[in-house]
Structure formats: structure tokens, C-alpha cells
A and B are shown apart, each in its own frame.
Chain A
Amino acid sequence: MPEPSPSSERSSILSAEDVSKVYQMGDVEVHALRGVDVPLHEGELMVLLGPSGSGKSTLLNILGALDVPTSGRVLYRGDDIAGHGERELTNFRRDHVGFVFQFYNLVPSLTARENIALVTEISKTPLDPREALELVGLTERMDHFPAQLSGGEQQRVAIARAVAKQPEILLCDEPTGALDFKTGIRVLEVIDEVNRSLGTTTAVITHHAPIASMADRVVSLADGMVASDRRNDEKVSPSELTW
């Protein structure tokens, strides 16, 4: 039995309500999500745990308007965005969501600063790219191209790029997946710092259970359903994490 949901305690900024996602793979129907309810509360850092195939990336993609659910609702401040068209979804991402990916996805032809400027040019209340790089501790590397940066550095630039538009929501899909332990910790520290100093509502996907210790809230998915949703009362700083 899952624990009682703590969702009613604080106001949710973005939430999935009874969301299901079915992929048609040839003749086979794959149920990636089956009636999932996950709210994201204002200002919290949520970790979404689960083994591969549990549906966590699908959920994140739906919350981030990269994908639409087969059924159910996705509420952003009470407005159901699940039924919106392509243009509105693009605008939603543009204005409210920052993404961090496992493989950084920096544009190789742009320097660190320019990768950030790429986003600040199209956002309404952006940080200065230098400020964003300061936040991730990379001001001295700002004129380097991605090919001249290490993996950890690239991921920190990606985080800076994601937060530079001051999004309300930051979604991170396996941000440490391609990094070694030490570098991974450094990246998590940056995510934690962004969450605390800017108050950005953050969701981090991982299959590393220990990372859950840095979260305000931990949601576990298994087989397309929420297995548990609990508050983490003993939140630790990323530097104390081990795995």
C-alpha cells in the first residue's frame, strides 16, 4: 500500500492527474503509465525514482509538455495543458519549464555563454548568461565550446541554460547518468543550490536510490504506477550522498 499522499499540504504548481500513456509498438500496446497522480509543489525538490521501464521518463516528458498523455489531465496552475495544441505546448516550455538531460544536449557550435544566450534570447525574464554561469561556478569557462569542456562542466552549463530563463519548473532527466561519482555530486549540488536560492520547483529523475536523500519528496514508480510518494524529513546535502 502506498503511503497517504501529502499532496494536499502545499499548493501544487504542476500535477499529473490519472495520467495514462499507451504506446503502440507495432502490433503491441505498451502501457508506459497507468493512471498516475503526481503533483509538483511550489518550491520543492522532488526525486522520481524507479528502475528502467518504470515510466518515470514518460511522466517527466508529459509534465514537461514534450509528450501528451493518452488519458488523464496535466494541470499547470489549474489549467489543463494536456489538450493544448503544439503551439501552446511550445510556449509552455518556452515560458515555464527548464530541462536538463542525461547527455547535456548542448549545441556544439555555440560557446557555454552562447548556449545560455540561446535560451535567454527567447525568454521573458532571463538572468544574464554570466550570472547563470556564476550560479554553476563556470564563469571562467564561459567562452569555451562544448568540445572543450568536461562532461560535468557540460552538464553544469546545461543546468545554467535551463535556469537562465528563471523557469518556475526545472525538470532533470538522469542528470548524473553519464557522469562519474564525484562529478555527479557536483552537478547535484548545483541543482540543489538552484532549488534553494531561486526557489525553482525541481523534479529529478534517477534510478540511483541514494540520490533520494537530497529531496524534499520522493516518488517511486514501478510498472507505470506510483509505488510510493513520501516526504523526506531527513534531507541531506548532496555532498553527503554516497552510492
Chain B
Amino acid sequence: MVSVLDRKLLRDLMRLKGQVLTIALVVAVGVANYITLRSAWRALGDSKVAYYEQYRFADVFARVKRAPDSVTDRLGDVRGVASVYPRIVEEVLLPIDGMLTPAHGQIISLPSRGRPPMNDVYVKSGRFPEPGRGDEVLIYEPFANEHDLRPGSTIPAILNGKLHELIVVGLALSPEYVFAIEPGGITSDDERFAPMWMSGTSVAAAFQMEGAFNDVVVRLEPGADEKAVLIAIDRILEPYGGLGAYGRDLQISNSILEGEIAQIEAEVVFLPGAFLAVAAFLLNVVFSRMVTMQRGQIAVIKAVGYRNSTIALHYLKMVCVIVLFGSAVGVAFGAWLADAMLDLYAGFFRLPMTRGRIDLPVAINAVIASLLAAVAGIAFAVRSAVTLPPAEAMRPPSPARYRASPIEQMPGLRRLRQTTMMVFREIWRRPLRTVFSSAGIAFALAIIILGRFGKDAHGPILDLQFGRQQREDISVIFKNQVADRSLGYLAHLPGVDQVDGYRMTPVRFRLGPRWRDSVLIGLPPDSHLRRLFTRQFRPARIPHSGILITDVLADILGAEPGDLIDVELKEGDRGTRQVRVSGTIDEAFGIQGYMQKSSLHGLLREKPTVNTALLRVNPGREAELHAYLSDIPTVQSIHRKRTVLEKFEGQTRKTMQVITLILTLFATAIAVAVVYNNARVSLSVRSRDLATLRVLGFTRTEISAILLGEQAIQVCLGIPVGMVLGTWGAKALIELQADPEQFRLPMLISSQTYAFSVVVILAAAILSALLVRRRLDTLDLVGVLKTRE
């Protein structure tokens, strides 16, 4: 048996269905958002922890030129080190049939017995190579999928200049390659980069590394001082050509994964919170009006003996119905969206993800948070209903008090039309409502900007990086430096139109106690194929003397132009040189330093050499050229700019489209809810005034202008604020970006994005306003004059 009050509740909700639906939609979006972000956060975070734990992901990593195995024991003696695992890691070319340029492999040695003690391999199908079988490999699963490789397939590989036919015995993943990015690459490319695992003795034999290692990973004891360990390891490896030890924070796969997790964590509080705040505000607007309208009913209910608590409960129940309805939709939508988001992530982050059913506590939290927000939103309205003495409630509310708004006193506006003044005074009477409504609109607009600005920044930055900065078609990286005259040889290869080259050397930059391992690039002064630009698209020049460093690197070191910094060389005599910072450059990628090529040779005390050649190529003869390039034994890898660019664009475009679409829909839900509910309440408050005006001879258009003018002002106030908010948010997101040391988006929001966001908001507002305006056509002119409000 449904109680009479509950029946009233259902009927009230039915009467307000437009408002109930739009507010429930905002709740749904907030809940869905929370569930999606929380699920993604937990799935990525928990999977990461479990994966790292189960597969014993190392804490410290170091590359070295060649260190004897005996060094391992010394590393193990370092205070804070729990265990040490020396390995051999080598770059190889994989000349797969049908690929224009060979793919790049990274061979990692496996221990002769048992599984790797850390950075273990997760074999998804197949088996581990048998010890001593030099042709058996485990291969990175996504690469295998791209090339249709299965256990039993073979793959050609150039190991130390010799072509081998390797047998794939298993497909694998590793915590080291959750986000697999090749050395020097800018993004993951499953088609072109393949970590591979091979029996240690075979790798050692192929690369003449018997009794030695060139890569070491370390697990720390709990509570160990990581920085001290890094310094100790560097000291031990220094004589063997150590390239600098680093912790998990700089391990590229981990740093990108953690960056993403941190970004979701930041959003998980802010985004759903803002949606719930909007919902709470709208509930406040709607319920305040409802309680005012129902004063008489409340009085009667009280007069016949209902308790105050019953009345409070009645309105609380009403809001609960709205929130629970919205939450139910939100939970279902959120579960679906979370799944879609994790699918998207699964394409980037290769780790066994624990997912599937909806996370119940997360859903419950979301519903509780929405209920709390909603109850907070209607608290004042319910309180005024409860505290109303029955007798007073029977009388109409005292007429609203108005004051002249300050805007009328502004010079030039003194002679406003009366109808315009009505709009201003209504706004002035409820300034908070205007502020919150505008804030809601501003928030909606801001999230559209946030969903789209990445697209604006990516296009031009790719254009800059791959059009104006990297002007070559192909870059060839040599295993070791080669004499400058080798470029002359390349120039004579078929299809080569222009050749340039530069020298790049790994170094440690140090200023006082701060240091960072990176690379120093020496560019010739007349380099045609490589130019420098800032993130703001301005060309930059390398000074005649001194070093130009990326501003992110300058921040890390705390260096300013004019400072002398130490450059610790990792090749040649491995000496330390002091170089003056002559400037900083705000580049989009990396944290490198630049010098004149001749100055770098001076620093390295070597003859003019290059280790990267840049080629401009006649497209018609590219295939012919690649055949020659692959045969050069000193070549370590070949990069085709167009392929990298297409990969990067393809990856970002799809993600951006999805994000833009979802956030635009979310924003529309907010804009519709804000404008529709405000207009409905405003219509309820004003219907008497508007009917009077109609009787006095005002047209429908004229009274619509009064009703919707207020909404229009709120939207117009919200739009510029939203643009500023969106711009700030974009800045904050850039700061939060996955790995700022790897890639930095420029702060760029196109006028199209601003225009798009404004158009979406205006369209949503106008649509909602029209829905309400239709009601003006059926305004009861006669009835409203017969009754006292």
C-alpha cells in the first residue's frame, strides 16, 4: 500500500519530469565519470602493482659498455641493494619481408637456468627458449600479433652483422615493456619495435660478451636510499663505461604508466566532483521553488497532524528518487564506459589487467557521494519547509523584495527599457543563482575545451617537429660514430638527394648536487635537415660557444644561462668538462643539450664524426635505397619519418576523437540541465508577471525575451569564464602530462576549439530555452489574473 504522501511524491516527480530527467542526467554523468575514472585508476594501478610484484620488476636500472661478471658481486655489496641481475641487452635489425625498413629488435638475455630473478617474462603462449638453443626466442606479443607470428614461426634478425633465422617459441610481455618504446623513439610502435628474449649463452656468443654484461637491474631492500645506491652503482660501473644508473621514475615504460595513473587520479576528484556540484545546485534551485509553491500543501499536511520529520523525509525521498535514478543510469553507463576506456588503455599499456565486473565499492561510493551532494543541495529548501508554522504557510509568501540593480546606475544605461530592468533586477535579487548558473555553464564549456585542445596542439607540434625541425625523410643511426666522409658515401646511394649528419653522445649533465643523464647533440652550423624551434614555433639558433639546453633540463639542474655546468662524458676518455649554458630552448620533445658540432668534437677530443645521418630521398627510389642501407654493417637502426609520424598521428587521433565526443556529450548534459531548470523555475516564478504583460498587450516574443533574457545573461557570463577556465585547465593538464621529460604539448588552443565549445554550449542553451519557451504559448492569461500567487 503506497502512502498518500508517497503518491504525492510520485505525482510531483511526474509533473516535473523534464527537470527530474535533466538533473538525473547530470548525476548520471557524474557517477559514470567517477566509476570510469576510478575503475581505470584501480585497474591500471592494481594491475601495475600486481604485475610488478609477480614478475619482480627491478628498482634500479643501469646500462654499461661492458663489465665483467665479477663486478656483479661488488654491486651486490652496495648498501641497500637486495639483489643484482646482470644481463646482455642488444639492439638488432629485423629485416622482415614486406617492410620497407627493417623493424627494430631489442634482445634481452635469459639466465642459463630458471626464470629471470627480476624483470621476469610473462609468457602468454608457447614456452621459454631451451638453454643453449641459440636460435630460439620469446617475442613481444603485440609485435607478434602485428606480424602474424606464432610459436613455431621464424623471423630474420641481424645479430652483430650476421643474418640469423630465429625461431619464435613463445609470445611474451614484460613489466619492463608495459609501454614499449624503442630507444630514441617518441611513441610505442608495435609494428616496428620488438623486445625479444634469448638464452644468455647464445646472446653472449653472438655479441662476444662471454663473461661480461652490458645491462644490470637491481632490487632494493625496503627503506633503501635509492639516490645513494645510484651513486654507488655509477661509481662501480664508471670504469666499464657505465651510462648512468636510474630508478623506476626514469624507466620510460614505468614513467609513462605512472604519469597516466597520476593524471587519472587528479581527474577522479575534480571531474565527478564538479558534476555533482552542478547537480546539487540545480536540485537547490528546483526544490526551493517547489517548497515555495507547496507552502499551502505543506501547511495542510502539517495542520492535519503530520510531523515535521515526515515532511522532511518526504522531500528527501523525492531527491533520493532522482539521485538513485540518475545513479542507476550512471552506474550502467559508467560500467560500459570504464570497459571502453580500459579497452583503449589495453592498446597502449600491455599488462595483464584485472578487470571485468563492476567494482561494487566504487559504485557504492559514487551513489553515496551523489546522495550527499543532493541532500546538501536541498537542505535549505527542506529546512524552510519544516520550520514553516502551519498558519503562516496558509498565507501566501510575502511579496518578493526587489531593489534597483547597480547596473541601471551605470552611465548610458539609465534609460533601460522596463522589461530589461525586470531581467536585471531578477538577477540582482538572486546573485548567487546567477553566479552558480554561470559557473555551471563555464564548467561545461571548459570541459569541451579540455576534450579538444590536445588536437589543436598535436597538429602544429607534429608539423613543427616533423616538417620544419626534422627535414629529412630517413635517419640512419650508426652503432658507433663514423667519419664525416661517410656522409659522402651515403650521398652517392640511389635516391639520396641531400645528406646531413650530426654527432650525438650520451652524457651526464651536472650542476652542484643535481644531475641528469641525457644526450648532447652536436649540429653543424649549416645543417639543412635539422633545425631547432621552440614550443612556441619560433626558430632557435645554436650559439657559437657554450651549450643550449632544453628548459626542462635547465629546471632539473636549476641552471640558468651563464651558469657553468659539468658535462660528464660517457665515451672517449669519459672525462668531465665544464661548459657554459648560453641559453635554454623550450622544445616539445626530450631533455637534450645542443652544441656546435665542432665544439662537441673539441669536448670529446675527437676528429669530425657523426653517428646519425639524415637523408632527403627521392620517393620513387626509396625501396632501392633501403636495400642498400640494410646491408651496411655499421647501421644500428633506420627510421623513416613518415612511418613514425603516421603512427603517432594514428594513435592520438583515435583517442582524441573518443575523448572529444564523450566530453562534449557530458558538457551538453550540464548546459541543458542548467538552462532548462533555471528557465523552468524562472517561468514558474514569473508566469504571473508574464501573463499580466500579455494582457497588457505584450507579444509572446517580448515576454520570451524577459523570461529567457536572464538565462541568456547567465550563459553569456559563463562563456568567457569558461574560456578562461578551459585555458587554465589545459595548462594544468599539460603540467600533469604523462611524462614531461619525454614530450610536452605546447599551450595552444585554436580559435576553432573556442568557437566549437561556444557553439555547442549555445546550441544546448537555445534548445533548452526553446523547450521552455513553448510553454509560454499556453500561458493561462485569464486564470493567472484570478488568483493571488
Seen from chain A, the residues whose Cβ lies within 8 Å of a Cβ on chain B are 57, 61, 64, 66-67, 86-87, 90-91, 93-95, 97, 99, 101-103, 105, 107-111, 114-115, 117-119, 121-123, 145-147, 161, 173, 178
Contacts and interface: CB of A to CB of B under 8 A. Distances in A.
A103 B694 CA distance: 16
B699 A109 contact: no
A101 B421 contact: no
A105 B688 contact: yes
A103 B4 CA distance: 33
A173 B695 CA distance: 13
Contacts, number: 91
A86 B555 CA distance: 72
Contacts of A173: 785
B423 to A, nearest CB: 9
Which of A97, A102, A109, A121 has its CB near the most chain B CB atoms (within 10 A)?
A109
7 smallest beta-carbon distances between A and B, as pairs: A94-B697, A109-B425, A118-B418, A105-B692, A93-B697, A109-B402, A147-B399
Nearest to A174: B786
Contact of A93 (B401, B426, B695): B695
B418 A57 contact: no
A242 to B, nearest CB: 27
Interface in B668-703: 688-689, 692-700, 702
A147 B401 contact: yes
A174 B329 CA distance: 52
Nearest to A64: B695
Contacts of B401: 145, 147
B410 interface: no
B707 interface: no
B699 A90 contact: yes
A95 B422 contact: no
Contacts of B702: 122
B429 interface: yes
A121 B399 contact: no
A122 B697 contact: yes
A122 B699 CA distance: 10
Which of A67, A105, A115 has its CB near the most chain B CB atoms (within 10 A)?
A105
A118 B702 CA distance: 12
Contacts of A115: 418
A147 B782 contact: no
B781 interface: yes
Nearest to A162: B696
A66 to B, nearest CB: 5
A109 B786 contact: no
Nearest to B789: A103
Contacts of B689: 105, 107-109
Q: How large is the interface on B (under 10, 10 to 19, 20 to 34, 35 or more residues)?
A: 20 to 34
Nearest to A178: B788
Specify the main secondary structure of chain A where it touches its partner. mixed
A107 B422 contact: yes
B400 to A, nearest CB: 5
10 contacts: A67-B781, A94-B697, A105-B695, A108-B400, A110-B402, A119-B696, A119-B697, A121-B418, A145-B401, A146-B399
Contact of B418 (A90, A99, A114, A178): A114
A38 B400 CA distance: 40
Given A101-B785, A103-B788, A114-B421, A147 B398 contact: yes
A110 B786 contact: no
B697 A66 contact: no
Nearest to A143: B404
B417 interface: yes
A146 to B, nearest CB: 6
Contact of B782 (A66, A90, A161): A66
A107 B697 contact: no
A191 to B, nearest CB: 17
Contact of A95 (B404, B697, B699): B697
Contact of A107 (B692, B695, B781): B692
Which of A103, A111, A146 has its CB near the most chain B CB atoms (within 10 A)?
A103
A105 B687 CA distance: 11
Interface string B300-311: 000000000000
Contacts of B425: 109-110
Given A103-B788, A145-B402, A67 B697 contact: no
Contacts of A117: 418
A118 B697 contact: no
Contacts of A114: 418, 421
